[in-house]
């Protein structure tokens, strides 16, 4: 097994802290590091070097009791072999690319197909399976870690050498995540985080179906079989996809007779078109657990957010504390470009050219109600 270099944390004002320590190893012998961010006010986050993964997120409830609210594993190496992308960074391109191919400047690029006939989340060896380098940890008003990754030209079929960064920053009331990347050839990029949230506490018996959800979207992208968007931008008004005002996640999830889209996705697995998508950081969604009072507000610069209700968690994967993760034990709110954008010139572009800087900012704000 390789040795993990433990980097000293830069001095940070009390009470915020940032520390790096070992967190197991991969089956191939690579050491996994864990960066512990603590804002000193009851919010703690653990980031892994493997996959630039959000492994845990401790949030207090309305009575001050802290619970971990993201699904994951207790040992770092599990993230190298297990599925479902728990908490990991997704890249180069989040979501599906139809047929495992796209054409850029007249050249077709073929990608590995790991979701039936389609390419999903960067392929089987995407950024979620890569060891990221810790470049800097420390703090001031917010405690942070900056990680980097180099993806060479032709990696999983994508053109251009991509130099990527993931910066997690924990402040008094929220966790920020900034992705940046540059390339030496024209390419496509769409990075996001794939955390499964359960604000009741990820180690308990309560699913997310009783959570309340608001999404700042008037339209969503219906899908065809294979969960590839048809290109239609369908209004959410009046149906099971209407989360413009706070609604219980599970209230309409089984209405497949009225909403064929729920049948195609086995629940919610759809991209919502966010309002006012001008590249600025803006509100995308709010998730609330009435029992604990925990509230998560998602903000992003991306044009869309994929709402996934944990439909393919089937009890065959054992997570933290020996818990078998089952359907809807967690849900994902993944801000990102639209699925299959590299094949859809009518969608907002995901192209990155040399000399440009790709940047995607995500902010999770936390409070209690």
Determine contact, residues 233/273, Cβ cutoff 8 Å. Answer: yes
Q: Which residues fall within 8 angstroms of residue 238, CB to CB, at 6 or more apart? A: none
List the beta bridge partners of residue 164: 149, 181
Is-catalytic flag, 194? yes
**Is 355 in a helix, a strand, or coil?**
coil
Determine contact, residues 5/35, Cβ cutoff 8 Å. Answer: no
Active-site entry in 36, 259, 297, 334: 334
Q: Which residues fall within 8 angstroms of residue 24, CB to CB, at 6 or more apart? A: 31, 32, 75, 76, 77
Q: Token pair for residue 341? A: 């954008």
Determine contact, residues 202/68, Cβ cutoff 8 Å. Answer: yes
Active-site entry in 121, 194, 270, 299: 194
DSSP tally for the chain: helices H, then strands E: 1, 31
Is-catalytic flag, 36? no
Which parts of the chain fold into alpha helices (H)? 260-264
Active site residues: 194, 334
């Amino acid at each position: 097994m390789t040795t993990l270099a433990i980097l000293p944390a830069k001095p940070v004002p009390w009470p915020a802290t940032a520390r790096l320590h070992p967190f197991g190893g991969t089956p191939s012998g690579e050491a996994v590091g864990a960066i512990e961010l603590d804002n000193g006010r009851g919010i703690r986050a653990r980031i892994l070097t493997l996959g630039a993964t959000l492994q845990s997120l401790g949030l207090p409830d309305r009575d001050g009791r802290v619970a971990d609210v993201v699904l994951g594993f207790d040992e770092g190496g599990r993230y190298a072999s297990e599925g479902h992308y728990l908490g990991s960074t997704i890249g180069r391109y989040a979501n599906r690319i139809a047929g495992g191919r796209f054409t850029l400047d007249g050249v077709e690029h073929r990608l590995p197909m790991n979701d039936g006939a389609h390419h999903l989340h960067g392929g089987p060896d995407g950024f979620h399976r890569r060891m990221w380098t810790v470049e800097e940890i420390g703090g001031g008003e917010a405690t942070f870690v900056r990680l980097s990754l180099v993806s060479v030209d032709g990696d999983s079929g994508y053109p251009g050498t991509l130099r990527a960064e993931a910066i997690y920053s924990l402040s008094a009331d929220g966790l920020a995540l900034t992705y940046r990347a540059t390339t030496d050839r024209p390419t496509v990029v769409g990075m996001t985080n794939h955390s499964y949230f359960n604000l009741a506490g990820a180690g308990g018996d309560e699913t997310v179906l009783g959570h309340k959800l608001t999404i700042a979207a008037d339209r969503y992208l219906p899908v065809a079989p294979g969960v590839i968007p048809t290109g239609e931008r369908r209004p959410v008004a009046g149906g099971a996809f209407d989360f413009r005002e706070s609604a219980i996640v599970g209230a309409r999830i089984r209405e497949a007779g009225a909403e064929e889209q729920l049948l195609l996705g086995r629940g919610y697995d759809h991209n919502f078109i966010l309002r006012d998508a001008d590249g600025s950081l803006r509100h995308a969604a709010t998730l609330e657990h009435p029992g604990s009072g925990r509230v998560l507000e998602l903000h992003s610069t991306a044009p869309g957010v994929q709402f996934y209700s944990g439909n393919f968690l089937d009890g065959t994967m054992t997570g933290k504390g020996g818990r078998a993760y089952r359907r809807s034990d967690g849900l994902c709110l993944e801000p990102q470009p639209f699925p299959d954008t590299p094949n859809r010139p009518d969608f907002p572009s995901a192209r990155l050219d040399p000399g440009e800087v790709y940047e995607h900012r995500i902010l999770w704000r936390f409070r209690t109600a």
